[in-house]
Chain A
Amino acid sequence: GQQVMQIPQYQHVQEGEDFTTYCNSSTTLSNIQWYKQRPGGHPVFLIQLVKSGEVKKQKRLTFQFGEAKKNSSLHITATQTTDVGTYFCAGNNNDMRFGAGTRLTVKP
């Protein structure tokens, strides 16, 4: 199956700062999904991107899918303490393999 690489592994920000995590695949993806896992919890679906160059927004979260459908990003504007958790991308070519995740901590 395809491998997705995710960076950074960790990100610590001050509340109110922005945050971005990046996901890269060695192969073209049919689509990409993003999930959030709160500490002690399970991954929860955030969004799916399908089209080349697609951009979707959910309040302070902006998701992008690259033109070549090999990379994606998640950007959070003005982080809040409720944004704490690990954000995963998953390439979705039938199998669903996750990147290593980016663990976000937010200092109040």
Chain B
Amino acid sequence: DAGVIQSPRHEVTEMGQEVTLRCKPISGHDYLFWYRQTMMRGLELLIYFNNNVPIDDSGMPEDRFSAKMPNASFSTLKIQPSEPRDSAVYFCASRGGNTEAFFGQGTRLTVV
């Protein structure tokens, strides 16, 4: 398995534009997590899914953020409209049961 795959690796966009981050979890994993990492706030849990169902989205900052998992092999995190304060590294991670989590390489988002 190639591990957790995120795309794009880097994204630079203008304020107000829609941004879509993508994640392909490891096959067979039933948990998927989205995190945002900044120097100020550390590694924040935004939302997690179990068997494609969103379980806890209390970490999603505001209505501009949304996440979906239409099937077991794909998830998206969308920001619309984007703002400069959304600039961060966004990680996706997957896990099989209550075991170790595997992280993707991350997407570095810059909103100008």
Q: Which residues of A approach B to under 8 Å, CB–CB? A: 1, 30-31, 33, 35, 42-45, 48, 88, 90, 92, 94-101
Task: For the complex formed, measure the closest distance between the CB of A105 and the CB atoms of chain B, giving whole angstroms.
Answer: 15
Q: B55 to A95, Cβ gap below 8 A?
A: yes
Q: A44 to B103, Cβ gap below 8 A?
A: yes
Segment from B16-24, B65-73, B76-84, B93-101 that makes contact with A: B93-101
By DSSP majority rule, is chain B's interface helix, strand, loop, or mixed?
A: strand
Q: On chain B, which size bracket covers the interface?
A: 20 to 34
Contact of A30 among B31, B93, B98 (CB under 8 A): B98
Q: Which residues of B approach A to under 8 Å, CB–CB? A: 31, 33, 35, 42-43, 45, 48, 50, 55-56, 58, 91, 93, 95, 98-106
For the complex, give the distance between the alpha carbons of A23 and B86 in Å: 28
Q: B45 to A97, Cβ gap below 8 A?
A: yes
Q: A95 to B103, Cβ gap below 8 A?
A: no
For the complex, give the distance between the alpha carbons of A81 and B91 in Å: 26
Q: Which 9 A-B pairs have the closest CB atoms?
A: A45-B100, A42-B103, A98-B43, A100-B42, A97-B45, A43-B103, A42-B106, A95-B56, A42-B105
**Could you list 16 further interchain pairs (A-B, Cβ under 8 angstroms) beyond the known A1-B58, A96-B45, A101-B42?**
A1-B45, A1-B56, A33-B101, A42-B104, A43-B43, A43-B91, A43-B103, A44-B103, A88-B43, A92-B98, A94-B31, A95-B45, A95-B48, A96-B93, A96-B101, A98-B45
